[in-house]
């Protein structure tokens, strides 16, 4: 699936008029759309950054929260292209990737992966059982509100496993969704306008030499 961003830009890039005047207008229109898409990305990213605090932990004030989500330098952002895990390990990168998946209408993949990460850290057997059922009803069962794309056999196995929940209930499904994101959404994210913008080094203005 191509991202909504690419579809929009690609659609706008279709030749409409061969005249130079229309070409100039078309170029202006493309640039305006790119700016609009980039602004929409930043709005989405801001939303995710504001709502990505760890559940159950008290907020420690605005200052520490802002420090946790400091915009990365171009060098830091470029590290995300070296490995998918580098992207997921960055709070800002993870929020950016979630915003990107939302634009592709497949944010359920990263939400499921994150739910599994939280699930594996759960120690209480009672909480493990209740969380397992919630993950199942949210992501696994037929017509679940955030149903992920996994095979029937894996779904059946999960349905059996959650009857006596262990931390490994969703391991197979989580690995498949991770692989799906790594091989499909992640490469498209690296090609996105937003990511390319993060990787750009600021241009240093130079004063013209007096003659």
More confident residue, 119 or 13: 119
Question: How many Å apart are CA 126 and CA 123, to the nearest integer?
Answer: 9
Q: Are 54 and 121 in contact (CB under 8 A)?
A: no
User: Which residue do the tokens 């999960």 mark?
Assistant: 158
Per CATH, the homologous superfamily of domain 74-199 is Regulator of G-protein Signalling 4, domain 2 (1.10.167.10)
User: Which residue do the tokens 């580098």 mark?
Assistant: 86
How confident is residue 71, by pLDDT bands cut at 50, 70 and 90? confident
For the cut 90, the answer to whether the pLDDT of residue 201 exceeds it is: no
Q: Please give the share of the chain, as a percent, with pLDDT higher than 90.
A: 59
Residue 177: its pLDDT value, please?
97
- Taking only the tens place, the pLDDT of each residue in 117-134 is 999 999 999 999 999 999
- Taking only the tens place, the pLDDT of each residue in 95-110 is 999 999 998 899 999 9
Residue 170: its pLDDT value, please?
96
Domain limits, the chain: 74-199
Question: How many Å apart are CA 24 and CA 17, to the nearest integer?
Answer: 10
DSSP for 87-141, please give it.
HHHSHHHHHHHHHHHHHTT-THHHHHHHHHHHHHT---HHHHHHHHHHHIIIIIS
Average pLDDT score over the chain:
78
The two structure tokens encoding residue 123: 């120690």
The gap between the terminal CA atoms of the chain, to the nearest Å, is 55
pTM assigned to the model: 0.69
């Amino acid at each position: 699936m191509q991202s909504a961003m690419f579809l929009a830009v690609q659609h706008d890039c279709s030749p409409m008029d061969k005249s130079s005047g229309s070409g100039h207008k078309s170029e202006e229109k493309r640039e305006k759309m790119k700016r609009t898409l980039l602004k929409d990305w930043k709005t989405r990213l801001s939303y995710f950054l504001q709502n990505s605090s760890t559940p159950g932990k008290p907020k420690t004030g605005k200052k520490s929260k802002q420090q946790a989500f400091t915009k990365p330098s171009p060098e830091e952002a470029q590290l995300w292209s070296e490995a998918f895990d580098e992207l997921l390990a960055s709070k800002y990168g993870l929020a950016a990737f979630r915003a990107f998946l939302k634009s592709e209408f497949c944010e359920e993949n990263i939400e499921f992966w994150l739910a599994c990460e939280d699930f594996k850290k759960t120690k209480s057997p009672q909480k493990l059982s209740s969380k397992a059922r919630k993950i199942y009803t949210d992501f696994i069962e037929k017509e679940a509100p955030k149903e992920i794309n996994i095979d029937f056999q894996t779904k059946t196995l999960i349905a059996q496993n959650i009857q006596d929940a262990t931390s490994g209930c969703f391991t197979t499904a989580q690995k498949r969704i991770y692989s799906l994101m790594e091989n499909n959404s992640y490469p498209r994210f690296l090609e996105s306008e937003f990511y390319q913008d993060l990787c750009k080094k600021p241009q240093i203005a130079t004063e013209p030499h007096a003659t």
